[in-house]
Amino acid sequence: MSTGGKRAGSRRGARPPRTLNKAALVLGAAITLCVVAWGYLVYAAIDFGTAARGGSGGSGGSAWSFMALACLGAIACLFVGLLLVARLMRALGITEAPPSDNAPARPVGGKRAAR
């Protein structure tokens, strides 16, 4: 058994240096911002709901409307955050983009009709 020769070295090349994925960094910051805003809006909605139910703070109708706006804002922040998570997964290579519409269509009738 020979231990040397022409092909005795490793077959793998040197690893390329890792680069910073700026798109993933920006998406991560945006997701963090959305989660913080969502948490604040949920807290505000609870606070406005408590004030509206208790009748404190002058007119109860404005507290109900502020609570409704805070709820809608929280829903929007959570939705945008989930969309950004999907984009982050695509940027990191965990998922891939859906196939384009330019892909060749399947033949009508299946494999047998294509023969």
Of all helices (H) and strands (E), which one includes residue 51?
A: helix 22-54
How many residues belong to the chain?
115
Would you say residue 82 lies in a domain?
yes
Residue whose tokens read 């922040």: 77
Would you say residue 21 lies in a domain?
no
Task: Give the pLDDT confidence score for residue 115 in this predicted structure.
Answer: 65
Q: Which two tokens stand for residue 5?
A: 């020769």
Would you say residue 97 lies in a domain?
no
Q: Which two tokens stand for residue 114?
A: 């294509």
Task: Give the pLDDT confidence score for residue 97 in this predicted structure.
Answer: 78
Would you say residue 115 lies in a domain?
no
Task: Give the pLDDT confidence score for residue 35 in this predicted structure.
Answer: 97
Give me the number of domains the chain comprises.
1
Q: Which two tokens stand for residue 3?
A: 């231990």
Would you say residue 71 lies in a domain?
yes
The parts of the chain modelled with pLDDT lower than 70 are 1-10, 56-60, 101, 103-107, 111, 113-115
* Domain coverage including residue 85: 35-92
Would you say residue 44 lies in a domain?
yes
Q: What pTM did the predictor assign?
A: 0.68
Task: Give the pLDDT confidence score for residue 86 in this predicted structure.
Answer: 95
